[in-house]
Amino acid sequence: MSLKGLFITGSSTDVGKTHTGVVLAKSLTSKGIKVIPRKPVESGCSPENDQLIPADATALKRAAAYDGLLSDVCPYRFREAISPRTAAYLSHQVLTTKQLTDVCQFGAEEGFLLVEGAGGFYSPLSEDGLNADLAQSLGLPVLLVAEDTLGAINQVLLTAEAIKSRGLELRAVILNQAKDYASPEGLNNLEELHPMLDCPIYTQPYQEVTGDCDMPDDLIALLTR
């Protein structure tokens, strides 16, 4: 199945994938583009009324003004804040890459499929695969998010190489600027990465995932082409 969309991955965990996805979903929706958000599996969910609530998936659903069910966005939820594969094992469940692929593809032909992985590109995701395997199964171009801190260059280059080794297109890199990070004098990851990558690189101010922020029109055009 050939789909129009994007797979959002990170150079590590907690680098701003959901924030980026929320900003993109809001920006696309405001332009009249129907977004189909998917975070097929999420760990670290909070219990509420005998249910586990996936915070990231909920934020994506709201940002996209998605009228489907939250269970369509994120059917697999776990309480433990660890890799989904391990969390599923502890819950006596088996997750496969095919299951997660099917979740992402369901109804996706109706709009722009926006898939957020869990953790970094090589983080364990299912019993038989990594985030990389889900991205490869979907065949979507990839948006890589990294925290704009010391060490980002190494993380971005390693992840970019991994993405390309899977035969996937790295559409762009976003350096997420954390609000509480005191950047060392002279640090400029954006400038240093430019000659090392053959895709556009952007910086993005950090905000809470529910914060209002627009993506530049040129970046939106690039990500949706």
| Active-site residue list | 39
Q: Please report how many Cα atoms fall inside a 13 Å half-sphere around the Cα of residue 42, on the Cβ side.
A: 27
Q: Quote the CA–CA distance of 220 and 62 in Å, as a whole number.
A: 19
Q: Which DSSP category does 13 fall into?
A: S
Cα 216 from Cα 5, distance rounded (Å)? 18
| Sign of the alpha-carbon dihedral angle for 181, 197, 8, 123 | negative
DSSP-H helix ranges across the chain: 17-30, 55-63, 70-73, 84-90, 97-105, 131-138, 152-165, 189-193, 217-223
Q: Is 63 in contact with 29 (CB distance < 8 Å)? A: yes
Q: Phi then psi for 98, rounded to 5 degrees?
A: -65, -40
The whole-angstrom separation of Cα 42 and Cα 193 is 31
- Find tokens 């696309």 and name the residue: 28
The arrangement of strands across the sheet holding 201-205 comes to: 35-38, 112-120, 5-10, 142-147, 170-177, 201-205
